[in-house]
Amino acid sequence: MSVGNQPTRGSDDVTRSIEVGHDREGRPVKKRRRFRRRVGHIPWISIGIVLVVLILPALLADLITVHDPLRGTLGDRLAPPFWMEDGSWTYPLGTDKQGRDILTRIIYGARISLTVSGLTILIGAVIGTSLGLLAGYFGGWIDRIVSWLIDTFLSLPHVLLALVIVAAIGPSFVTIVAIIAVTIWASFARQVRGETLSVRESEYVARARVAGAPSARILLRHVLPNIANTLIVLATLQVGVVILEESSLSFIGAGIPRPNPSWGVMVADGRDQILISWWISFFPGLAILLVVLSLNLVGDWLRDFLDPKLRQRGRD
Amino acid sequence: MALPVSPTQGSVSPVLEVSDLRTYLYTRWGTTKAVDGVSFSLDPGETLGIVGESGSGKSMLALSLVRLTPEPAGRIEGGQVILNGRDLLSLPEKQMRAVRGTEISMVLQDPQQSLNPVFSIGNQLGEAIRVHDSDAGKDEVYARSVAALKSVQVPAPERRLRNFPHHMSGGMKQRIVGAMAMAYQPQVLIADEPTTALDVTIQAQYLRLLKDLQQRTGVGIIIITHDFGVIAETCDRVAVMYAGRFVEQASVSDIFDHPKHPYTKALLDSRPKTGAKGERLSSIEGQPPSLADLPDGCRFATRCEYAMDRCSLEYPDLVAIGGHSVACWRSEEVLWETS
Amino acid sequence: MGDLLMSAEKLSKHFPVSAGQYGGKTIGHVKAVDGVSFAIEKGKTLALVGESGCGKTTTARMILRLWTPTAGNVTLEGRNIHDLKGADLKWFRSAVQAVFQDPWASLSPRMRVRDIVAEPLVVNQKVDRHEVRERVGATLEQVGMQPWHGDLFPHEFSGGQRQRVALASALITQPRLLVLDEPVSALDVSVQAQVMNLLKDLQSELGTAFLLISHDLATVRYVADQVAVMYMGRVVETGSVDQIFENPQHPYTKGLFASALPDHPRNRRPELEILGEMPSPLDPPSGCQFRTRCPSVMTICEQVPDSIEIEPGHSVACHLYAGKAI
């Protein structure tokens, strides 16, 4: 590959690693090929599952369901899935004790899971990232306090904590979001603090300090963009954690108040029928499993995809 | 060491013979011809230097000789590596493991990284010995470990065996890595950038140590480096590698005094010369071609000030001229005056 | 003598060493830099030379205000740099810039080259967007690149080009002093020559002074005017590049030069006197710190030697030269 126009002075070592072609004026034109190379290993199946089981149903719940998620038909209670004897396409995945359609409730449950995980991760990530950045960059007493908080929050038994809080102020959507956010900020803070510690020692931060950049600029322009990968990956992985946590809390009755169709509540509701009407717990459980597994796979792929080392090909 | 009028030439058969070795890397960005038809031989007690810039394929060549190319991307596509009459490339992996460390050995660039920080030196040295002698008793392993450390002039070897890598200086670690590589007195030792991570004073000590080991055991040494100082200090013969191939091979004094390939000449000239302060350094314009996208002709042609039309069309074969083996269409002409 | 630009006087940096991992009691100090003095003239190059751990990088970091000295001070054009505040600090940041060793580590992978190059200008001076763009383009051309290279990210360049980008960024404020910390040691031989030529050209064109940190004697000889040889936090010998290279006096300087690899096989040194290894900085020898490795050690070496000027501009801190002061 050669470069069309030569630099004005000095010698030219432009080439090899620049993945660009050039238009008539010699300006760079990125080649499509490069993009396609980098997206070779997308986990389509996992992304598909997340879309079909979680995101699309959450967005389109009102359009794609015919039954009421909260009130059932008592005459159709405990109907089995369609392929079994007595099953019908009216209730493809069967009904629960109160005659509510399982599929409809799973679809509305996706909405709750997505809202809860979105909100908690947003809150947790903002708090965790801010504290982690400050602790990692400035060190000293800020670091000591934040590290102590991280250790404390990571060692608290979350479920017990949740039970105590719920017992004190009662279950509600806001309580559950607050409880889960409180338990996940520490994961973000710990990760961000560690990354910041290493980025702080990097030569490009030293260069920025020599340039005279103030701390806020260094944190926002140099540190944050370079730990963004980790944040995105961590957030993806945390969606699974949050869904599981919300389900467990709902399962023990400290979560989303009934009759809202949270997946965890649904699994809990089918508990005493598990041997006879297994589908009540099984399908929401399956939804949790598929979504959490897929999100983990997507998270792993994102980690590879965003790894800047895979892009620094000039260094061989 | 005396200057390289190789005393063994002709009378002794080479210990290692490499012919037409090819190692390709298959990555998501295409096929990289890291080693693309390299041939050479090494006599017992001889030191061969392989010099090249980063990306020339010299490290991949070193790894190919011991069949440790990175999996699964790297594959040895052809050629022969004949050691003691056997082609290493056709040995089953199990036999190859027995050969590594006993007949052909390797020391890596960074001593910090080739010692495991959580095990003591005695533990790691013992491990290297037991790999090939699984029935060696505890006392024997100990005695051999002490002897190995003594052979690389480590003071108080008994005490050192109980130490951990972080107790030691870089130079000491480099010696211990050397001791591990030499524990079985291999006939061939490959040193990949042996001194890059070291200070000048430690560099000098370590190169001296390699020479001492060579004089005592007659090991043939291959030094892979980008530093002509290391070549000048230690080597008998030099091969210059560029974009996956050898472009020139000759004795060390011929390379320094009468380089025949324009690349060799340009590399030598780009070093700052002592006593020539203030003069501009001559540099090589441009960059080497990507190993994934090699031209048909001479790979140096685009950067060569002596290039002709033919150079960019056909690759020149290596030809023997006055003790050199050179791959250049103009090798028989006198392109520059040499001292 | 030319005009004085920067001087360091009795500069020291001691790092506390604590017992245990979690900030236990301080059990001692590592004297990374211990009473170092030197001066840099306008438009000239001073090289700090020594083995790793000799304190040359710590010294550079104090000059750059990345670290605060334990004792001593640094003055730039008569002003103590560690007392500067506000606008004076911005003046200092424009006047002193740096290029670091590893061109792969010193450019933020997430910023475009034009933002990297513009940074010192944007944070220190009030300039409008249009002017920033012009100056980024002009500076890139100055280091042998093209203005459109500013649109790319660092990973799209080779090592030599990345070092040019780092250099452009350091030059955009037209600094009076450039600290070069091993600027070519991570580059290939042929690229080293390109960057060294460029540095020389820029110095003669712009009149920038350099503080060069290097362990590579060939680079030092090529670029430097003055040399200070450091050993375990102290300067043991200082003089012009010719004085040091043609006529080294301190036993350490001699040993260092003797250890350097030959430039030609005919200059091999079969009878080379090999220096031992540097003692632990936690427990340095008393007196002259080189005495544990010194071939000409005497009893008096248990006392710290004074720096003695043996010829104009050439000083040695060694008892061998006691009474030989001019």
Please give the full DSSP string across A11-58, using - where no structure is assigned.
-----TT--EEE-TTS-EEE-HHHHHHHTTT--HHHHHHIIIIIIHHH
C221 vs B contacts (CB less than 8 Å): 272, 274, 277
Reported confidence tier of residue B294, pLDDT bands at 50, 70, 90? confident
If phi > 0 it is left, if psi is from -120 to 50 it is alpha, else beta; for residue A179 that is alpha
Q: Would you state the pLDDT for residue C10?
A: 93
Pair C159, C188: CB distance under 8 Å: yes
Reported confidence tier of residue C22, pLDDT bands at 50, 70, 90? low
**What confidence tens digit (pLDDT) does each residue in A278-292 have?**
888 888 888 888 888
**What confidence tens digit (pLDDT) does each residue in B107-130 have?**
876 766 778 888 888 888 888 888
In terms of pLDDT, which residue wins out, A311 or C315?
A: C315
Over chain C, what is the mean pLDDT? 88
Q: Could you identify the residue written with the tokens 């897929």?
A: A294
Cα gap A76→A73, rounded to integer Å: 6
Cα gap B102→B99, rounded to integer Å: 5
B258: pLDDT strictly greater than 50:
yes
Instruction: Return the SS3 of C124.
Output: helix
Rounded to a whole number, what is the distance in Å from the CA of B56 to chain A's nearest CA? Answer: 9
DSSP annotation of A92: T
Rounded to a whole number, what is the distance in Å from the CA of A71 to chain B's nearest CA? Answer: 54
Mean pLDDT of B4-20: 70
Across the interface, whether the CB atoms of C194 and B283 are under 8 A apart is answered yes
Neighbours of B113 (CB within 10 A): 12
Cα gap C217→C260, rounded to integer Å: 8
- For β-strands A20-22 and C226-231, DSSP reports them as unpaired
Q: Could you identify the residue written with the tokens 């030197």?
A: C38
Q: Phi and psi of C126, rounded to 5°?
A: -90, 105
Q: Would you state the pLDDT for residue A3?
A: 33
Neighbours of C70 (CB within 10 A): 17
Residue of C nearest to A213 (CA): C123
Tokens of B228: 């002509």
Q: Where are the beta strands (DSSP E) in B152-212?
A: 188-192
Contacts 24+ apart (CB under 8 A), B71-76: B72/B26, B73/B25, B73/B26, B73/B27, B74/B23, B74/B24, B74/B25, B74/B26, B74/B34, B75/B23, B75/B24, B75/B25, B75/B26, B76/B21, B76/B22, B76/B23
Q: Would you state the pLDDT for residue B7?
A: 45
Lowest mean pLDDT among B116-130, C4-18, C224-238, C295-309: B116-130
Tokens of B244: 């996956």
Tokens of B269: 């000239």
Q: Would you state the pLDDT for residue C1?
A: 53
Q: Which of residues 73-102 of C touch A (CB under 8 A)?
A: 89-90, 92-94, 96-98, 100-102
C266: pLDDT strictly greater than 60:
yes
**Which DSSP string do the residues of A218-271 spell out, in sequence order?**
IIIIIIHHHHHHHHHHHHHHHHHHHHHHHHHHHHTT-SSPTTS--HHHHHHHTG
Instruction: Return the SS3 of B50.
Output: strand
Size of interface A-B (CB pairs under 8 A): 25
Burial class (CB in 10 A: 0-12, 13-18, 19+), A264: buried
Lowest mean pLDDT among A248-252, B99-103, B161-165: A248-252
% of chain A residues with pLDDT over 70: 84
C321: pLDDT strictly greater than 50:
yes
Q: What would you report as the CA-atom Rg of chain C, rounded to the nearest whole angstrom?
A: 21
Interface of A with B (CB under 8 A): 1-2, 11-13, 15-16, 37, 40, 313, 316
Across the interface, whether the CB atoms of C274 and B267 are under 8 A apart is answered no
C270 close to B (CB below 8 A): yes
Burial class (CB in 10 A: 0-12, 13-18, 19+), A111: buried
Beta bridge partners of B326: B248, B319
Neighbours of A309 (CB within 10 A): 10
Pair C241, C225: CB distance under 8 Å: yes
Pair C168, C117: CB distance under 8 Å: yes
What single letter denotes the amino acid at residue B146?
V
Mean pLDDT of C207-232: 91
Across the interface, whether the CB atoms of A16 and B287 are under 8 A apart is answered yes
Q: Would you state the pLDDT for residue A58?
A: 76
If phi > 0 it is left, if psi is from -120 to 50 it is alpha, else beta; for residue B273 that is beta
Reported confidence tier of residue A150, pLDDT bands at 50, 70, 90? very high
In terms of pLDDT, which residue wins out, A51 or B105?
A: B105
Q: Would you state the pLDDT for residue C156?
A: 82
C119: pLDDT strictly greater than 80:
yes
Number of H helices, E strands in chain C: 9, 12
What angle (nearest 5°) sits at the alpha carbon of residue B50, between those of residues B46 and B54? 160
Burial class (CB in 10 A: 0-12, 13-18, 19+), B29: middle
Cα gap B167→B176, rounded to integer Å: 13
Lowest mean pLDDT among A170-179, B41-50, B245-254: A170-179
Mean pLDDT of C208-228: 91
B69: pLDDT strictly greater than 80:
yes
Name the residue facing C188 among B53, B199, B272 (closest C-beta).
B53
A29: pLDDT strictly greater than 50:
no
Mean pLDDT of A32-39: 43
C198 close to A (CB below 8 A): yes
In terms of pLDDT, which residue wins out, A308 or A66?
A: A66
Neighbours of B98 (CB within 10 A): 12
The arrangement of strands across the sheet holding C26-41 comes to: C26-41, C4-18, C71-76, C79-80
Q: Would you state the pLDDT for residue A307?
A: 64
What single letter denotes the amino acid at residue B219?
V
Residue of A nearest to B25 (CA): A316
Q: Would you state the pLDDT for residue C85?
A: 87
B282 close to C (CB below 8 A): yes
Q: Would you state the pLDDT for residue B138?
A: 86
Interface of A with C (CB under 8 A): 5, 7-20, 26-28, 202-204, 206-214, 217, 221-222, 225-226, 228, 308, 311-315
**What confidence tens digit (pLDDT) does each residue in A64-80 have?**
777 777 777 777 777 78
A222: pLDDT strictly greater than 50:
yes
If phi > 0 it is left, if psi is from -120 to 50 it is alpha, else beta; for residue A12 that is beta
% of chain A residues with pLDDT over 90: 15
**Distance from the first to the final alpha carbon of chain A:** 17
Cα gap C64→A34, rounded to integer Å: 40
Closest CA to B202 of A177, C215, C126, A223: C215
| Interface with chain B: mutation pick from C161, C189, C247, highest number of B CBs within 10 Å | C189
Q: Would you state the pLDDT for residue A125?
A: 93
In terms of pLDDT, which residue wins out, A177 or A38?
A: A177
Mean pLDDT of C249-263: 88
Lowest mean pLDDT among A63-67, A153-157, B189-193: A63-67
Across the interface, whether the CB atoms of B272 and C241 are under 8 A apart is answered no
**What confidence tens digit (pLDDT) does each residue in A234-265 have?**
888 888 888 888 888 887 777 777 777 888 88
Instruction: Return the SS3 of B47.
Output: strand
Across the interface, whether the CB atoms of C261 and B284 are under 8 A apart is answered no
In terms of pLDDT, which residue wins out, C35 or B337?
A: C35
Cα gap A39→C191, rounded to integer Å: 33
Pair B61, B49: CB distance under 8 Å: no
A5 vs C contacts (CB less than 8 Å): 146
Q: Would you state the pLDDT for residue B275?
A: 55
Question: Is residue B170 within a helix (H) or strand (E), and if so which, with residue range?
Answer: helix B170-182
% of chain B residues with pLDDT over 70: 92
Cα gap B152→B189, rounded to integer Å: 14
B234: pLDDT strictly greater than 80:
yes
Dihedral over Cα of C132, C136, C142, C143: its sign: positive
Cα gap B128→C95, rounded to integer Å: 55
**What confidence tens digit (pLDDT) does each residue in A163-178 have?**
888 888 887 888 888 8
C262: pLDDT strictly greater than 50:
yes
Chain A contact partners (≥3 CB pairs within 8 A): B, C
Chain C contact partners (≥3 CB pairs within 8 A): A, B
Neighbours of A306 (CB within 10 A): 14
- For β-strands C307-311 and A20-22, DSSP reports them as unpaired
Tokens of B5: 């009028």
Q: Would you state the pLDDT for residue B88?
A: 92
Dihedral over Cα of C310, C313, C318, C319: its sign: positive
Closest CA to A16 of B244, C159, B67: C159
Tokens of C323: 């009474």
Tokens of C262: 């030959």
Q: Would you state the pLDDT for residue A12?
A: 33
A128: pLDDT strictly greater than 70:
yes
Reported confidence tier of residue A313, pLDDT bands at 50, 70, 90? very low
C130 close to B (CB below 8 A): no
Reported confidence tier of residue C21, pLDDT bands at 50, 70, 90? low
Angle subtended by helix axes B200-217 and B170-182, to nearest 10: 20
Cα gap C241→C82, rounded to integer Å: 29
Cα gap B152→B181, rounded to integer Å: 11
Over chain A, what is the mean pLDDT? 77
B207 vs C contacts (CB less than 8 Å): 261
C256 vs B contacts (CB less than 8 Å): 200-201
Cα separation values, B317 from A171, B23, B246, B288, B298, Å: 82, 19, 10, 19, 10
